[in-house]
Amino acid sequence: MEPILRTTNSMDWITIIIFSSVLCVVIAKSIFYMRFTNFIILPFNNKYIFMYNKKDKLLNWFHIFFTIFQVLNFALFIYLARAILFESSNDNYPMIYLLILGLLLLFILLKVILQLGNGFVFNTNKTISEFVFKKLSYLNYSGMVMFLSNVVLVYVLKDSEAVVYVTIFLILLINGIGWVTVVRNHQKFIANNFFYFILYLCALEISPFVIIGSLLKA
């Protein structure tokens, strides 16, 4: 009998990424338990925003841990969704994931820097930093949806388009709630700077979806 070569697709590196992201949540919960309990109900209650919007904001370890969690799972979700929706061959190697992760990190950093820079130029630092904190908080929360989706797509329902579409819907819903909250809480500021708000919306909020869509199709 001649030996038959079988190619096996190792998902060990995906397991490491998922485990690493869970570790970020475990550490955040252990160190900041009260903050975590307020964060976990964010879409249903604004207590977290009101309690932590005025202090620590972006440079807080709880926020940093959850941002890492979100970015790791966001990149993995794009990686998996790209293969499922566009039948792209990811070859089950981490290089494509690392590329997506790098681009996503660069994009988020540039976006935050541009937003804060915009606040500095127009002397609206306080309001813009509140904008960034609130929107990133909702994006970080949607990271939990991405995490659950990644687990299902990797270990339970592989290649499920339904899971991908439901996840995209939930991500948009959560961040939509965040946007409604931001606009409602800053109606006067937006009304007084409506033209600049429209420019900001087009340049820094709508364009990300175009870029992410391009990443998925690439």
Query: pLDDT 10s digit of each residue in the chain, 218 long?
Result: 444 444 444 568 899 999 999 999 999 999 988 888 888 888 887 778 777 776 656 678 888 899 999 999 999 999 998 888 876 665 556 788 888 899 888 888 887 777 777 666 666 667 777 777 888 888 899 999 999 999 999 988 888 899 999 999 999 999 888 878 777 766 676 666 666 666 666 666 666 666 666 655 55
pLDDT computed for residue 199 by the predictor: 62
CB 64 within 8 A of CB 105: no
CA triplet 80, 162, 172: central angle to 5 degrees?
A: 80
What residues contact 22, with CB distance under 8 A and at least 6 apart? Answer: 147
Mean pLDDT, all residues of the chain: 79
pLDDT computed for residue 152 by the predictor: 94
pLDDT computed for residue 89 by the predictor: 60
pLDDT computed for residue 217 by the predictor: 58
**CA distances for 78 relative to 143, 150, 153, angstroms:** 12, 10, 12
Report residue 119 as tokens: 């606040």
- Residue 38's φ and ψ, nearest 5 degrees, are -75, -35
Q: What is the DSSP string of 154-206?
A: IIISTT-HHHHHHHHHHHHHHHHHHHHHHHHHTHHHHHHTHHHHHHHIIIIII
For the stretch 89-131, pLDDT in tens is 655 567 888 888 998 888 888 877 777 776 666 666 677 777 7
For the stretch 25-37, pLDDT in tens is 999 999 988 888 8
What residues contact 10, with CB distance under 8 A and at least 6 apart? Answer: 92
CB 108 within 8 A of CB 34: no
DSSP state, residue 32: S
CA triplet 127, 130, 131: central angle to 5 degrees?
A: 90
- pTM of the complete model: 0.81
